[in-house]
Every structure is written in C-alpha cells, then in structure tokens.
Amino acid sequence: MNDKRFKIKGYTVSAKVHDKPSRFGLGKGRVSKLRVKTPGGKTVINYDRGWDIKPTKDIHREILGRIVTKYRKKKKK
C-alpha cells in the first residue's frame, strides 16, 4: 500500500493505493481512499471505502477518470 500525493490541473490529489484490487476500492480497484481539493483548498471529491463527496462537475469527473485509469492495474516491477 502506498500513499500518493500529486496534482492534476491544479487540483491536489491524495490517494491510498493498494497493490491489489479490493471490493472496498473505487470501482473495485486499487484506490481505497481518495480526496481531491481545488486550488483554493475545497474538497470536491472524497472516497473512503465509499462515496462521501461524489464529483459533480465535468472537470471533477475528468480528474476522477484519470486517477481510476492510472491505478486500474497493478504496476509491473
């Protein structure tokens, strides 16, 4: 398991990413916790083994899509 922190289009992304997919993961994937904040610090996406704040704007859905795609499969070593 790894804690990831990075930016996409100025939004700050914090994610807890596991080595294997889980039924608790986002879309049954590897991300079990996810928080996305605007450049101003407002949380616009929050997932903690379930949805607390779902993305509502197109830009937020785009960011979510990038994250899900990035961590869909286990990284090869």
- Tens digit of each residue's pLDDT (9 = 90 or more) over 23-71: 889 988 999 999 999 999 999 999 999 999 999 999 999 999 999 998 8
- Tens digit of each residue's pLDDT (9 = 90 or more) over 5-15: 999 999 999 99
Q: pTM for this structure?
A: 0.88
pLDDT given for residue 45 in this prediction:
98
Query: Residue 50 to residues 15, 18, 37: CA-CA distances in angstroms?
Result: 13, 16, 17
46, 52 Cβ separation under 8 angstroms: yes
